[in-house]
Structure 1
Amino acid sequence: MTLEGKNVLITGGTGSFGKAYARHILENYNLNKLVLFSRDEQKHYVQKREFSVWGDKVQLVIGDIRDRDKVFEVCRGMDVVIHSAAMKHMPMAEEHPMEAIKTNVLGSQNLIDACVFHKVKKVVALSTDKAALPINVYGGTKLLLERLFITANAQHGENTSFAVVRYANVFGSKGSVIPLFMKLKDSGELPITHPEMSRFSITMDEGIALIQFAIERSLGGEIIVPIAPSYKVGDVAEAVCPSCEKKIIGPRVAEKMHEVLVSEFEAKQTIKAGHYYLILPELGTKDTDAYIKHYNNARRVALNEYSSGTNADWLSIEDIRRMIAQL
């Protein structure tokens, strides 16, 4: 599906991703209308001024994904919906698990119901590597989001196509370790969970390309996973401040040593298309051959698990330093 002439809704539209993706599609597609939906009125105020150059084509709507009536209202007339609204601060989710459930799970179901009711053609949800073998509340709620979307596609995919993209860490994004280290480097000491702790890494541009791939190519029901390099936390600290003392503080509550983008349980139903792995649904009417045919460059892969700790592709200290300079 192309975005040309379409009505597009982004939930969480004033967040880091929502804002970057909105700007990208406004600059590259002739949309009919773009609606940015979020509950942060201060971000709405700032973003409305920044996006004023596009005039009435952009509408900023204050509302909460938990508010079922508001979600039904904002989905009316949409052709494409990108679902990025989430409670994603891991420690806060651990302290307030029900709040994470209300936003990430119940809010997602509100959106699914609204998209089915209004016959939205394409819906893409943002998930996270923490949904694969989750050990924390945030990952658990995102796993449930994935299952809700896969089930929705199995039940309603003939009219509304649902797909999921499973994100890796966006390099230098708000809340990541890089801004923290940059802020603390003048103190002469950087707190490190563990120097060998690893994470997958994608850039914001690669994240945007991932969403575009899902909109343009997804058949429905699949989880699309980027094939990405890993980095070690110790290498990030060294890249930011070689002269700083590295103080090992240990992992946070419910934090993994290494992240997983495709678990061993999902590997058997995973194919590869270009720069992406596609985890195929076990629910629905389409089999593996149908997805391979749809993605004409797809193939089956011998994959046991796709983990940041056993990845074949790594960012060096110099790679990390160069990427930080480009932020």
Structure 2
Amino acid sequence: MFKDKRILITGATGSWGHELVSQLLQEKPKEIRLFSRNESSQVAMMRQFSDKRLKFIIGDIKEREGLMQACQDVEYVFHLAALKHVPVCEEQPLEALKTNVLGTQNVIDAAIYNHVNKVVYISTDKAANPSNFYGLSKAMGERLIIHANTLNTDTKFVCVRGGNVLGTNGSVIHVFKNQIAEKGVVGITDLRMTRFFLTIEEAIGLLFKATYESIGGEIFVMKMPTCTILDLARVLIEDSGKEDVEIIELGKRPGEKIHEILFSEYESASTVHYDKHYFVILPSIEIDGLKEYYASYKPVEMENYNSGENLMNKDELRTLLEEGGFLS
């Protein structure tokens, strides 16, 4: 699918971008354009990969003209760029709106203008029944991406929604490891908290699958294992070998949920089982041929997809962390 193709990745210098580039290069593309506003991260990636097929572009998705130029002759766009940290988006909602919503519309406009084949938007579990501004802005981005399939264009737009990816920038894994090593104390906002988790390698593999198989207008929802944050902390403490590490409860931050969901009660009415890796949420708006294409797929019987159910035990969690290279 990607052989001899030109690909644009927005927000390309983050953890998702690193793994995406690594796996895309194996597909023998003609060119991968890495679009981000972080100069130092671009230089670091340039040195890390040292591949002539990579073209680094300093730019911000809030600036439409730069995106228009970056999209020229591109066949696939992976839209990763976003403000992602919940407290930052709560404190600076206008910046989150400009990047996550208006920036996404700029990506849509640039893709349509340049006749891109397909745009893949990377979303989050926090977009399902959002309780914070980050989730709200990503949900709005999803709606813009889905709606773009109703416009007069041959470009196809699809969303992929997942939970937490282990080891990404700002991941709780790194936070806990640093706290264990430096303070001997692990802070958890609420001891009842659960989350969806997946390794970055698995997440990018599933992202490719959705890219290959989507027809445009749907939201692919990754099926992901879940665990309690308390068990995650305990496994990391046990692995450290340190004794007398204390776990303290800090209290929930604004906008935080005890349990995340990957699709809501409202969305479950239009969600189908796709395969062992994915659910697919069909839009409420009419997109030619989409509902007919999925008519034979089995509707879900779940009220929602909740991180508080079917939790991994500590042994299963330890195995997941070992596979991701996070245990010694």
Q: Do Structure 1 and Structure 2 share a fold, with TM-score over 0.5? A: yes
Q: CA deviation at 1:172?
A: 2.6
Instruction: Describe the SS at the equivalent of 2:233.
Output: helix
Quick check: 1:266–1:279 contact (8 Å CA) kept in 2? yes
The corresponding residue for 1:277 is: 279
Which residue of the other structure, out of 182, 185, 193, is the alignment partner of 2:180?
185
Instruction: Describe the SS at the equivalent of 2:196.
Output: strand
Instruction: Describe the SS at the equivalent of 1:66.
Output: coil
Q: CA deviation at 1:174?
A: 2.1
Instruction: Describe the SS at the equivalent of 2:298.
Output: strand
Runs of 4+ off more than 4 Å: none
* C-alpha distance after superposition, 1:12-70 (max 9, x if no partner): 1111101110111102x111111010000001111111221x22x11011111111100
Q: CA deviation at 1:239?
A: 0.7
User: What is the rounded CA distance, in whole Å, between the counterparts of 2:23 and 2:274 in structure 1?
Assistant: 24
Quick check: 2:16–2:168 contact (8 Å CA) kept in 1? no
**What are structure 1's unaligned runs of at least 5 residues?**
none
Quick check: 1:6–1:32 contact (8 Å CA) kept in 2? yes
The corresponding residue for 2:253 is: 252
Q: CA deviation at 1:302?
A: 1.5
User: What is the rounded CA distance, in whole Å, between the counterparts of 2:302 and 2:314 in structure 1?
Assistant: 28
Q: CA deviation at 1:287?
A: 4.6
User: What is the rounded CA distance, in whole Å, between the counterparts of 1:320 and 1:185 in structure 2?
Assistant: 18
User: What is the rounded CA distance, in whole Å, between the counterparts of 2:300 and 2:45 in structure 1?
Assistant: 43
The corresponding residue for 1:162 is: 157
Quick check: 1:38–1:85 contact (8 Å CA) kept in 2? yes
User: What is the rounded CA distance, in whole Å, between the counterparts of 2:320 and 2:261 in structure 1?
Assistant: 23
Matched, 1:261 2:258: no
The corresponding residue for 2:109 is: 113
* C-alpha distance after superposition, 1:75-132 (max 9, x if no partner): 1100000000011111111111100111100110001001011110110000100000
Q: CA deviation at 1:292?
A: 4.4
Q: CA deviation at 1:231?
A: 0.6
> Quick one: which amino acid aligns to residue 301 of structure 2?
A
The corresponding residue for 1:321 is: 318
> Quick one: which amino acid aligns to residue 300 of structure 1?
P
Q: CA deviation at 1:173?
A: 2.1
User: What is the rounded CA distance, in whole Å, between the counterparts of 1:277 and 1:51 in structure 2?
Assistant: 34
**What are structure 2's unaligned runs of at least 5 residues?**
239-243
Matched, 1:8 2:7: yes
Quick check: 1:172–1:324 contact (8 Å CA) kept in 2? no
Instruction: Describe the SS at the equivalent of 2:269.
Output: helix
Q: CA deviation at 1:145?
A: 0.3
Matched, 1:235 2:231: yes
Instruction: Describe the SS at the equivalent of 1:200.
Output: strand
Q: CA deviation at 1:175?
A: 1.4
> Quick one: which amino acid aligns to residue 169 of structure 1?
N
Quick check: 1:219–1:291 contact (8 Å CA) kept in 2? no
Which residue of the other structure, out of 287, 290, 294, is the alignment partner of 2:293?
290
Instruction: Describe the SS at the equivalent of 1:140.
Output: helix
Instruction: Describe the SS at the equivalent of 1:113.
Output: helix
Q: CA deviation at 1:215?
A: 1.3
Quick check: 2:217–2:290 contact (8 Å CA) kept in 1? no
Quick check: 1:172–1:179 contact (8 Å CA) kept in 2? yes
> Quick one: which amino acid aligns to residue 120 of structure 2?
V
Quick check: 1:172–1:178 contact (8 Å CA) kept in 2? yes
Give the structure-1-normalised TM-score.
Answer: 0.93
Give matches, 1:32-43, under 5 Å. Answer: 32-43=30-41
Give the structure-2-normalised TM-score.
Answer: 0.93
Alignment coverage as a number of residue pairs: 316
Instruction: Describe the SS at the equivalent of 2:266.
Output: coil
* C-alpha distance after superposition, 1:234-275 (max 9, x if no partner): 101111115421111111111001001010000011011111
Which residue of the other structure, out of 196, 199, 212, is the alignment partner of 2:195?
199
RMSD of Structure 2 on Structure 1 (CA) = 1.4
User: What is the rounded CA distance, in whole Å, between the counterparts of 1:177 and 1:25 in structure 2?
Assistant: 27
What percentage of aligned pairs have identical amino acids? Answer: 39
